[in-house]
C-alpha cells in the first residue's frame, strides 16, 4: 500500500478544463508550499497519489491568481486517469526515474534491446513514466531501419502484452489493413460488408485521422456510431459477423496510440514501428488472417519497390514469429481512389459502390473487390481463386449492402451522409494532359477546407493520370462548412497545384 504523503505535500484536486491530448499535465501555483518545498519547476515530472490511484505527470507552473495556493489542477487526460472524487486531495512528490531509463539510453546510443527491455519501455509508456522528450528520443532512435527483425517482434509482443486482447473462440477471424497514404482509398466498409455477408467474422477496429483528411473511423461515423466499448463491439460481431468501430475506444494496443502522438509531428518513417503498430492491433483484436493493402507510389506512404520489399519482409517475419497468417497486396499508389476526399464525401462513394449505383466510382469498386477476393482466398477451407467471384456475387446481388446496413443498425443506427453548405470549383489554368497527381497535396487541400474536423468538408475530383483537361475546366470541387474555410482552401489551391499537366502531343 502506498504511504500517505505528508500534509504539506497534499493539495486539493481541481479540474483545469485543458485538453493536453494523451499527455497528463498538472498545474500548480509557483508560490504554493509544495512547489517551494519540493523545488518543483516547470516541466518537472511529478507523481500524484489520489486515493488508490497513482499518476506520473508533467508540471506546468501558474504565475497569476487563477489557481489557488492550495490547489493542483488536472488536464483532461490526467483527470480521466485519476478519476478523483469530489473534494479529493492529492499527495505530490518528485517522480522516480523510469525503470526503463537505462534501456532507453542504450537504444539512443545504438544498442539492440531484448524482449524484457522492450516490455519495460512499453510499460513505462503506458504508465506515463516517460516524458514526451524521452518518448521523442525513443522514436528518433527507432527511426529508419534502426529496429532489426528481432527488435520489431519484441516491440510488437510488448505492445500486445500491455493492452487488452480479444478472443472470438474457434474458427478464423479475418481482417484487412491499408498502410495508408492514398486519399479516398476507403475500401474497408465495402470489404467488411462483403466478407461478413459471406458468413465470415471480421471485427474491424479502425483509426481516426491524425494527419490525413479522413480515417476509416471518421468516414464510418457519418453513417453510424463508432465509439463502441468492448462489450458493445462484441454484441455487434456476434449478431452480424462484423463491425467497423473506432479502435481508440476499445484500447487494443494502447501504447501505440501514445507513440503515434509523438511520432507524427516528427514525421519520421520507421518500418519497425509501423509493423509493430499494425500487427499489435490486429493480434490484440483477435485476428487470425490479415490482409495488408500496400499502395506504392511516389507520393504514397510507401514510395517505391525497394521500400515495399523491405516493409513486406519485415511484416512477414514478425507475423510469422507471432503466429499470424498474413497476406500482402501491393496496389497502385500513384493517384487517389474514388471521387471524394473527406469523411462524408468518402462515405457517399462507399454507399454508391454498395448500392451498385450507375455513377459509383469504378476504381473504388474494383479495389474493394480485389481486396475482398484476396482475403476470402486466405480463409481456411476456401477454394483458391474463387474469392473474386464470391465477392462480386454478394456485391451485385445487394447482399453486401444489406449486411452493411445491418452492421450500422447494430452499432446504433444508419444515417445518410450529409453534404457541405459551401462548394467551389478550382479551374485549370491551362490545357493539357494530366501527367502526375500529388496525393499529399490533394490531402492537404482537403484538410485546408476543414476535413476531418468538419465531416462534410474536403474535395471531389474524378480526374486521373492520362486525362485531358481544357483551360477553365474544373480540376476539383472544394467542399466546406463555412464560407471562411472555403475561401481559405481556395486561396491555397493555386499554389499547391496537385495536378501536374503536360502538353498534349
Catalytic annotation, residues = 269
- Checking phi first, is residue 327 left (phi over 0); if not, alpha (psi -120 to 50) or beta? beta
- Gap between the Cα atoms of 288 and 67, Å rounded: 52
Q: Which grid cell is 232?
A: 458493445
Q: Which grid cell is 238?
A: 456476434
Strands 174-178 and 53-62 turn out to be unpaired
End-to-end CA distance of the chain: 80
- Checking phi first, is residue 365 left (phi over 0); if not, alpha (psi -120 to 50) or beta? alpha
How many C-alpha atoms does 446 have within 13 Å on its Cβ side? Answer: 34
Q: Which grid cell is 179?
A: 498502410
- Gap between the Cα atoms of 55 and 25, Å rounded: 10
List strands edge to edge, sheet with 289-296. 174-178, 289-296, 325-332
Q: Which grid cell is 339?
A: 471521387
**Is it true that the peptide bond before 238 is cis, omega within 30 degrees of 0?**
no
Let me know the angle formed at the C-alpha of 123 by 105 and 114, rounded to the nearest 5 degrees. 55
Let me know the angle formed at the C-alpha of 224 by 442 and 236, rounded to the nearest 5 degrees. 125
Q: Which grid cell is 156?
A: 510488437
CB 107 within 8 A of CB 138: yes
- Which segments within 30-178 are labelled E, that is strand? 45-50, 53-62, 71-74, 89-94, 174-178
DSSP 428: -
Residue that the C-alpha cell 500486445 belongs to: 160
Indicate the helix (H) or strand (E) that contains 202: strand 202-206
Q: CA 166: distance to chain centroid? A: 19
- Gap between the Cα atoms of 104 and 138, Å rounded: 6
The packing angle between helices 399-411 and 188-197, to 10°, is 100
**Residue among 460, 457, 459, 461 nearest 484 (CA):** 457
Q: CA 411: distance to chain centroid? A: 20
**Cα–Cα distances in Å, from 16 out to 45, 58, 66, 76, 94?**
18, 14, 10, 7, 21
DSSP 250: T
Amino acid at each position: 500500500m502506498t504511504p500517505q504523503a505528508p500534509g504539506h505535500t497534499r493539495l486539493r484536486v481541481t479540474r483545469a478544463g485543458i485538453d493536453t491530448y494523451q499527455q497528463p499535465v498538472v498545474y500548480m501555483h509557483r508560490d504554493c508550499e509544495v512547489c517551494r518545498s519540493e523545488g518543483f519547476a516547470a516541466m518537472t515530472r511529478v507523481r500524484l497519489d489520489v486515493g488508490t490511484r497513482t499518476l506520473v505527470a508533467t508540471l506546468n507552473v501558474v504565475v497569476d491568481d487563477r489557481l489557488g495556493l492550495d490547489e493542483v489542477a488536472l488536464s483532461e487526460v490526467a483527470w480521466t486517469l485519476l478519476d478523483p472524487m469530489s473534494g479529493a486531495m492529492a499527495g505530490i512528490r518528485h517522480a522516480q526515474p523510469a525503470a526503463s531509463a537505462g534501456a532507453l539510453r542504450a537504444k539512443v546510443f545504438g544498442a539492440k534491446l531484448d524482449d524484457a527491455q522492450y516490455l519495460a519501455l512499453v510499460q513505462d509508456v503506458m504508465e506515463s513514466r516517460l516524458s514526451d522528450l524521452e518518448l521523442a528520443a525513443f522514436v528518433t532512435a527507432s527511426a529508419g531501419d534502426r529496429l532489426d527483425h528481432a527488435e520489431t517482434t519484441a516491440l510488437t509482443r510488448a505492445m500486445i502484452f500491455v493492452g487488452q486482447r480479444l478472443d472470438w473462440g474457434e474458427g478464423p477471424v479475418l481482417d484487412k489493413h491499408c498502410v495508408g497514404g492514398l486519399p479516398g482509398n476507403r475500401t474497408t466498409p465495402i470489404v467488411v460488408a462483403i466478407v461478413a455477408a459471406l458468413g465470415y467474422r471480421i471485427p474491424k477496429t479502425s483509426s481516426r485521422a491524425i494527419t490525413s483528411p479522413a480515417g476509416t473511423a471518421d468516414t464510418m461515423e457519418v453513417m453510424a456510431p463508432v465509439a463502441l466499448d468492448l462489450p458493445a463491439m462484441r454484441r455487434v460481431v456476434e449478431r452480424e459477423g462484423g463491425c467497423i468501430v473506432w479502435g481508440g475506444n476499445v484500447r487494443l494496443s494502447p501504447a501505440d496510440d501514445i507513440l503515434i502522438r509523438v511520432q507524427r509531428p516528427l514525421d519520421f518513417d520507421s518500418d519497425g514501428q509501423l509493423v509493430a503498430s499494425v500487427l499489435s492491433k490486429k493480434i490484440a483484436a483477435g485476428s487470425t488472417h490479415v490482409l495488408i493493402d500496400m499502395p506504392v507510389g511516389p507520393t504514397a506512404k510507401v514510395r517505391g519497390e525497394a521500400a515495399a520489399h523491405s516493409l513486406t519482409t519485415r511484416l512477414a517475419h514478425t507475423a510469422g514469429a507471432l503466429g499470424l497468417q498474413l497476406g500482402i497486396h501491393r496496389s497502385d499508389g500513384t493517384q487517389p481512389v474514388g471521387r471524394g476526399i473527406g469523411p462524408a464525401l468518402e462515405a457517399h462513394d462507399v454507399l454508391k459502390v454498395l448500392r451498385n449505383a450507375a455513377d459509383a466510382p469504378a476504381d473504388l469498386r474494383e479495389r474493394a473487390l480485389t481486396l475482398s477476393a484476396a482475403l476470402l482466398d486466405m480463409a481456411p477451407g476456401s477454394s483458391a481463386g474463387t474469392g473474386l467471384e464470391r465477392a462480386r456475387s454478394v456485391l451485385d446481388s445487394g447482399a453486401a449492402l444489406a449486411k452493411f446496413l445491418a452492421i450500422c443498425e447494430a452499432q446504433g443506427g444508419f444515417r445518410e451522409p450529409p453534404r457541405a453548405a459551401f462548394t467551389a470549383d478550382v479551374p485549370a489554368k491551362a490545357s493539357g494532359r494530366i501527367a502526375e497527381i500529388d496525393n499529399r497535396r490533394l490531402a492537404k487541400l482537403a484538410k485546408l477546407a476543414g476535413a476531418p474536423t468538419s465531416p462534410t468538408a474536403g474535395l471531389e475530383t474524378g480526374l486521373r493520370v492520362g486525362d485531358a483537361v481544357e483551360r477553365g475546366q474544373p480540376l476539383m470541387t472544394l467542399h466546406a462548412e463555412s464560407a471562411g474555410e472555403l475561401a481559405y482552401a481556395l486561396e491555397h489551391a493555386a499554389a499547391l497545384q496537385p495536378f501536374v499537366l503536360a502538353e498534349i502531343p
